Homo-oligomer: A and B are copies of this chain.
Amino acid sequence: MATDSRMLCTALRNRLMSAADAAALIPAGSTVGMSGFTGAGYPKAIPAALAERIEQLNNAGEEFRINVWTGASTAPELDGKLAAVNGINMRLPFQSDPICREKINNGSMDYIDIHLSEVSQYAWSGFLGKMNIAVIEVSGVLEDGRLIPSSAVGNNKTWIEQADQVILEVNSAQSAGLEGMHDIYYGTALPPYRKPIMISQPTDRIGEHYLHCPADKIIAIVETSAPDRNSPFNPPDDISRRIASHILQFFQQEIAIGRMPKELLPIQSGVGNIPNAVLEGLDAGPFKQLSAFTEVIQDGMLAMLKSGTLTAASSTAFSLSPTAMAELNTNIDFYRQRIILRQQDISNHPELIRRLGVIAMNGLIEADIYGNVNSTHIMGSRMMNGIGGSGDFARNGYLSIFVTPSTAKNGAISAIVPMVSHVDHTEHDVKILVTEHGLADLRGLSPKQRAHQIIQKCADPAFRPALMDYFERACASGRGMHTPHLLGEALSWHQRYEATGHM
């Protein structure tokens, strides 16, 4: 053990081994629960070692595949490497890896994308079958065996409880100052034994700082020292800034007419450049004393904490650029007083999202003129990433805001279409839609009223006439007038794009 070792439990020293030796303990066909949420806190060494082993077996003509369950997305070192050697049979509940995505879309990998709040309940209830092994990154092991969680909690509590055997990666590159930031709640149960979860503010703590794992479950411990994925964000462009400004203006109006407190309500923000830009916009705006109840803390939210715009953030993971990660580590004592990392069945819990009245802000792939949103499927069939936590937050939040540039592929694709090619968020769950052109407030509107708002406020001007033409002809078609559609044309924009490269 190196002198800077975070593995302080002498009783577990005999489980220390190399990543290759630990990977060799994972049998073919097993279901493996791995840590990791939005590129944070995933195991850095064992998946790669396992992929190497799989590749050797493949070269020898042997197949070796496992089922991989995580918190959410991981990184090239995990999803990328295992997918590249066709090592994943079934993947859930979320991924965003290019190689993984290609395997899913060429039909060689099964994938189930699940509301992130539900994964733990599914696993506990046995709906997904048995978990054999958990591979969990922690940032330290105390002398008494308690585990200091890493930069993401995700489903780690559940995986450790549900797996027959546990392998730990102890990553000394994670800040030692993470200790004390987490709130691991051991009060969950299956029905009929569930009790109210006593959180009434994002800052309420109901658990403990550490994960527990019976020592006899731990079959291997691997020491690592490697950073998280830490992808940089693009600086906000003009489109992002315009989207952010529409949202800021909307919040100010809502406050002015008394429909929102001046501290707003706890915000949730999806991951990506546009949500990040909205956060930057919020930080530059007139708001003070905000809070966040979210699943991911990205650069914009860290900056809001630093500036004092945001007083506190509850999350299950970080997703930071290298610069922001350095800032977090440098001032970890400051952030530890303001950040709580929870397991994802709590960070995304419908009970809490509803109670706290979260303002949910998420991206999308396309929306239709009636306000249905597709968050997952390109042209109806190709999986992009997955629904993630967007359904947890959009359905139960106080406000659900969906943001998107009005076009993609240099204007070839309209983000507003006659009918979405896949639905992840129904018209019932989409309250506000925003593009760089404007904000459509869909609350209290019937479908036809929504269509007018969405086309006029959100669609790109180049596509507006064709959308209005579709809508007007649908209204005149003599079919049902509640949600007028021309079934033969409803998906024609997607077909046209596939045939011609332009909608």
Which residues of A come within 8 Å of B, CB atoms? 90, 104-107, 110-115, 121-122, 125-129, 190-192, 194-198, 200-201, 257-259, 261, 263, 265-266, 349-351, 354-357, 372, 377-383, 387, 391, 395-396, 398, 421-426, 428, 431, 443-446, 448-449, 474-475, 479-485, 487-488, 490-491, 494-495, 498
**Other-chain residue from B259, B491, B498 in contact with A490 (beta carbon distance below 8 A):** B491
CB distance from A424 to the nearest CB of B (A): 6
Q: Is the CB of A111 within 8 A of B398?
A: no
Q: 16 interchain pairs (CB within 8 A)?
A: A111-B446, A125-B259, A126-B258, A127-B444, A129-B444, A191-B355, A192-B266, A192-B356, A196-B355, A377-B482, A381-B481, A382-B479, A382-B480, A382-B482, A387-B426, A421-B485
CB distance from A379 to the nearest CB of B (A): 7
* Contacts beyond the supplied A191-B355, A192-B263, A196-B197: 6 A-B pairs with Cβ under 8 Å: A113-B428, A122-B443, A194-B200, A350-B395, A379-B487, A487-B494
Chain B minimum-CB-distance residue to A397? B191
Q: How far is the CA of A449 from the CA of B127 in the complex (A)?
A: 15
Known: A377-B483, A428-B391, A446-B112. A200 touches B195 (CB 8 A): yes
Q: Is the CB of B482 within 8 A of A191?
A: no
Q: Is the CB of A426 within 8 A of B428?
A: no
A379: B residues at CB distance < 8 A: 479-480, 487
Q: Is the CB of A196 within 8 A of B200?
A: yes
Q: How far is the CA of A283 from the CA of B89 in the complex (A)?
A: 42
Give the one of A355, A484, A488, A491 with max B CB within 10 A.
A355
CB distance from A347 to the nearest CB of B (A): 15
A351: B residues at CB distance < 8 A: 196, 350-351, 354-355
A196: B residues at CB distance < 8 A: 196-198, 200, 351, 355
Chain B minimum-CB-distance residue to A497? B487
Q: Is the CB of A355 within 8 A of B126?
A: no
Q: Is the CB of B191 within 8 A of A357?
A: yes
CB distance from A291 to the nearest CB of B (A): 9
Chain B minimum-CB-distance residue to A196? B196
Known: A125-B259, A192-B261, A475-B107. A422 touches B483 (CB 8 A): yes
Known: A387-B428, A488-B495. A480 touches B423 (CB 8 A): no
A128: B residues at CB distance < 8 A: 443-444
8 nearest CB pairs, A to B: A191-B357, A382-B480, A381-B480, A107-B481, A423-B423, A196-B196, A110-B446, A383-B482
**Other-chain residue from B192, B201, B265 in contact with A201 (beta carbon distance below 8 A):** B192
Chain B minimum-CB-distance residue to A490? B491
CB distance from A283 to the nearest CB of B (A): 21
Q: Is the CB of B424 within 8 A of A428?
A: yes
CB distance from A314 to the nearest CB of B (A): 13
A424: B residues at CB distance < 8 A: 426, 428
Chain B minimum-CB-distance residue to A421? B487
A114: B residues at CB distance < 8 A: 428
A428: B residues at CB distance < 8 A: 113-115, 387, 391, 424
CB distance from A47 to the nearest CB of B (A): 21
Q: Is the CB of A381 within 8 A of B104?
A: no
Chain B minimum-CB-distance residue to A261? B192
Q: How far is the CA of A128 from the CA of B446 in the complex (A)?
A: 11
Q: How far is the CA of A263 from the CA of B122 in the complex (A)?
A: 20
A356: B residues at CB distance < 8 A: 191-192, 194
Q: How far is the CA of A419 from the CA of B19 in the complex (A)?
A: 46
Q: How far is the CA of A90 from the CA of B490 in the complex (A)?
A: 27
CB distance from A123 to the nearest CB of B (A): 10
Q: How far is the CA of A196 from the CA of B494 in the complex (A)?
A: 45
Q: How far is the CA of A261 from the CA of B113 in the complex (A)?
A: 27
A104: B residues at CB distance < 8 A: 481-482
Chain B minimum-CB-distance residue to A190? B357
Q: How far is the CA of A127 from the CA of B485 in the complex (A)?
A: 27
Q: Is the CB of B498 within 8 A of A487?
A: yes
CB distance from A380 to the nearest CB of B (A): 5
Q: How far is the CA of A39 from the CA of B498 in the complex (A)?
A: 49
Chain B minimum-CB-distance residue to A193? B200
CB distance from A139 to the nearest CB of B (A): 31
